[in-house]
Chains A and B, each alone.
Chain A
Amino acid sequence: MKGKMIPLFILCLLVGILSACGNKKATTVKEDDKADEQTRKDELVLAIGSEPEDGFDPITGWGRYGSPLFQSTLLSYDENFQLVGDLATDYSLSEDSLEWQVKIRQNIQFSDGEAVRADDVVFTFSEAKNSNSVIDLSNLESIHASDDNTVIFTLKQPDSTFIAHLASIGIVPQHAYNEKYHEKPIGSGPYQLVEWNRGQQLIVEKNPYYYGNESFFKRLTFLFTEADAAYAAAQAGQVDVAVVQPRLADKKVDGMKLVELESVDNRGIVFPYVPSGQVNDNGDPIGNDVTSDPLIRKAINIAVNRKELVENVLEGYGTPAYSVADQLPWWNPDTAFEDGNLDEAANMLDEAGWQMNSNGVREKDGIPASFTLLYATGDEQRQSLAMAFASMMQPLGIEVETAGKSWNDLERLMHSHPVLFGWGSHTPLEMYHLYSTSTTGKGYYNPNYYSNKKVDEYMEKAIHANSPEEANEYWKKAQWDGEIGFSVAGDAPWAWLVNVEHLYVIREDLEIGRQKIQPHGHGWPMTDFIQNWRLIE
């Protein structure tokens, strides 16, 4: 008798799938009545990204890729990428470039009403330095408060990138910082936490003591949902801001408009730089005999048609990426090159001795030009990019298999297999992390064991430069100085593919103003200027 259940089961499955979106729409529209509309005048519901699993503690990395929301930073970047004072009113660097003096605002309070003092800043940076977290403050010799409103940072060596820390570490109150802080953050940012239901939502309210522009919205609710669910909620009129995937971006949602934010959130492939045969301390293999050939890496870079990837995988919502930091002040424009050029790439490989065999795969010294490209499983966009990339390599005679792996597996395999990664940050330090010999194999930094003495020299000079302008010159030289560099013209340890535009649908009367170029990390960077958002009539 029960056998009859089989077709019923499939039918349910099918019907369930087919009506998944329609259902939600039908049931939720009813709830959206007029009374609700009234209260929503000064409230926003946002479904813009994933939940920060480690909570909201700046010392363990919260806010590093965007705004800390609950806390405020000493300095911040404005829409034009200029550093401006935030918690700090004034800052100066000593003649020998070793001492930063930062004046902080007077008479301001944390969201619990306690005054913000220089000691809190000292406490925050000391904790961050000692915490061994993602924030690297090893160049910070000491920090002390010379009076209630002045903090002095003393560096071991001149460091042009140090200022980025002043703009990324949110200040935490010494009196309220404990092991529960990441769940109950208190700070001097525009909003304070009301409730956090792990895995579901975060509710925040205006911080009455905030010193900056008064926020238009009293209350914000962040929903932590999958992108598809966020979109469905937007269609139902339940959320005011929702992240949207490129394939759905062209579809108009009633009462909502599309916002496209430019980003340096890039995707690229890292190629193992050394030949195979070694292992690291954990016994994971290092190196790859195909990708250790610079001409293979260059040919791939030249052959990939990045515009096509943008057009077809990102549906046009992105830009081709030629480097890790396209368009940023430290980017070297000379490193841009023409891609999608199969013939030139083929000639290069022919000359280098990679000859086509009967299977349409190139071969040199008995080694076929084939590898497995790995990507983080579950990320549909990365999967699509990897697969599209693989199909582009086929006519060139490079055989690319693709495989999705968990982050745990990737950590073991990334030294010996090409991997599709995403980076993109507002600090040039990212280049140092990815290309410096000294960061080799640390976490996800420099996973391919790239090393070039001259590049290291340039980057050291850039870091210890006296001014950002001088530093940028060295950063550019590290990419390409006319002879060497880590760009495609030089060693080409990476093939950068695309910059992903961040897409949101927001309600039509919501004005979010100009945004700066978004870093990696979909979602939270968007809240950078949330205190300036308002509704327009």
Chain B
Amino acid sequence: MQAGNEAAAHDLKRRRSDKRLIWLPLTALIALLAFGIYSNEQVMVNLQLRNQAPGLTHIFGTDWLGRDLFFRTMSGLTRSLTIGLIAALLSTLLAVIFGILSWWHTKIDMVIVWLADLLLSLPHLVMLLLLSFAMGGGMKGLIIGLTLTHWPKLYRLLRSEILQINESPFIHVSRQLGKTKSWIAGNHLLILLLPQIVVGFVLMFPHAILHEAAITFLGFGLPPEQPAIGSILSEAMGFLTAGIWWMALFPGLILLATVLSVDWYGRLLGKKLQVKGGHHHGG
């Protein structure tokens, strides 16, 4: 009795913390995005306040056109996050669809595996540059480029996972009972893969942001009127020689903090959901 109660209480506590694990980051993300939209409106050219060092009125300082760097950074971060989020979502979706298609038919499997190998064998950033340029650049090009380059790793993971599940007795039973492939995919595969998919998505997210930052840093992708964190950093580079260090330092730190915390959260989630191989998404 006693033991059972304890277990129940423990279970409750765990479930509560599980819920918190979902809701807290989600709220934080939404708050951040909302603040980013607010920040975007606060970014104004003010030539009287050029190149101000960080201080009480401008905690991150101002840039060469007198724009407040804190708001500009937050606005840029939001843009980066949005792009990263959409790209990671689409990429995860692509990985899941491809994973199931692979399981569907061996011919399709061969094609997709070949495609994934091809993408993985090419340098990621180069592929990304080419794709986003070919897709017309801008935010659309970036998202398409990121989506098309980030799915293979998660896809491989899901594919091997599916291969394993495919050998389970209940799948055999389902088949024997005459269930269709789509029924099995919907009722067994997707549900069993869900933790993998969620963790895979969260871990892909910081990647997408970093790659987005890298590509905008190199000057591809977004116009200066829509700063992403990468383009803010690349603008800052020319001013380092002039001694204006705050233009690079704070946006850099913010990027670092964001990526690290998302990555940390992804690992925590992986541990909680007991997903093995959560680390495979690195690189």
- Interface of A toward B, CB cutoff 8 Å: 1-7, 9-11, 13-14, 17-18, 20-21, 228, 231-232, 235, 245, 247-248, 251, 308, 311-313, 377-378, 380, 383-384, 387-388, 390-391, 401-404
Task: Enumerate chain B interface residues (CB-CB to A < 8 A).
Answer: 44-48, 50, 64-66, 203, 206-207, 210, 213-214, 217, 219, 223-225, 233, 236-243, 245, 248-249, 252, 255-256, 259-260, 263, 267, 279-283
Q: Tell whether, in the assembled complex, residue B238 and residue A11 are in contact, meaning their CB atoms are under 8 Å apart.
A: no
Chain A residues positioned under 8 Å from B64 (CB to CB): 247, 384
Q: Are B44 and A5 in touch, CB under 8 angstroms?
A: no
Given contacts A5-B282, A312-B50, A388-B45, contact A228 B241 (CB under 8 A): yes
Given contacts A231-B241, A251-B242, A388-B65, A6 and B207 within 8 Å (CB-CB) = yes
Q: A18-B240, A388-B65 are in contact. Are A6 and B206 (CB under 8 A)?
A: yes
From A2, A10, A384, B210 is in contact (CB under 8 Å) with A10
A2–B47 CB distance below 8 A:
no
Closest to B258 in A: A10
Check if B45 sits within 8 Å of A1, measured CB to CB: no
> Chain A interface secondary structure, helix, strand, loop or mixed?
helix
Residues on the A chain within 8 Å of B206, using CB = 6
Q: Which of A10, A18, A231 contacts B259 (CB 8 A)?
A: A10
**How far, in whole Å, are A58 and B279 apart by their CA atoms in the complex?**
62
Beyond A2-B282, A6-B259, A390-B45, whether A377 also contacts B223 by CB under 8 A is: yes
**How far apart sit A20 and B233, CA to CA, in the bound complex (Å)?**
13
Per DSSP, are chain B's interface residues mostly helix, strand or loop, or mixed?
helix
Which of the listed residues B45, B233, B243, B260 has the most CB atoms from chain A within 10 Å of its own CB? B45
The answer to whether residues A404 and B223 also contact, given A2-B279, A17-B236, A231-B241 and a CB cut-off of 8 A, is yes
Q: How far is A403 from B224 in the complex, measured between Cα atoms in Å?
A: 8
Contacts of A4 in B (CB 8 A): 282
Q: Find out whether the CB atom of B47 lies under 8 angstroms from the CB atom of A308.
A: yes
Interchain CB contact under 8 A, A380 and B238: yes
- A-B pairs with beta carbons under 8 Å apart, 17 shown: A3-B203, A6-B282, A10-B255, A10-B259, A13-B217, A14-B252, A14-B256, A17-B237, A18-B245, A18-B248, A20-B240, A247-B64, A312-B47, A313-B65, A377-B223, A388-B45, A402-B225
Compute how far the CA of A308 lies from the CA of B48 in the bound complex, rounded to whole angstroms.
9
A390 cross-chain contacts in B, Cβ below 8 A: 45
Q: Are B241 and A248 in contact (CB under 8 A)?
A: yes
* Cβ-defined contact, B256 with A10, below 8 A: yes
Give bound CA distance, A313 to B51, whole Å: 11
- The interface residues of chain B lying within 8 Å CB-to-CB of A308 are 47
Q: How far is the CB of B276 from chain A (nearest CB, A)?
A: 13
Whether A2 touches B283, Cβ cut-off 8 Å, given contacts A11-B256, A377-B223, is yes
Q: Contact: A17 with B279, CB < 8 Å?
A: no
Question: Judging by beta carbons under 8 Å apart, are B282 and A3 in contact?
Answer: yes
Q: Give, as a whole number of angstroms, the nearest-CB distance from B89 to chain A.
A: 19
B214 touches A13 (CB 8 A): yes
Taking A20-B240, A384-B65 as known contacts, 16 extra A-B pairs with beta carbons closer than 8 A to each other, sorted by chain A number, are A2-B280, A3-B267, A5-B283, A6-B260, A7-B263, A10-B259, A14-B256, A17-B237, A228-B237, A231-B241, A247-B242, A251-B242, A312-B50, A313-B65, A384-B64, A388-B45
- On chain B, the residues within 8 Å of A404 by CB distance are 223-225
User: With the chains together, A18 CA to B214 CA distance in Å?
Assistant: 15
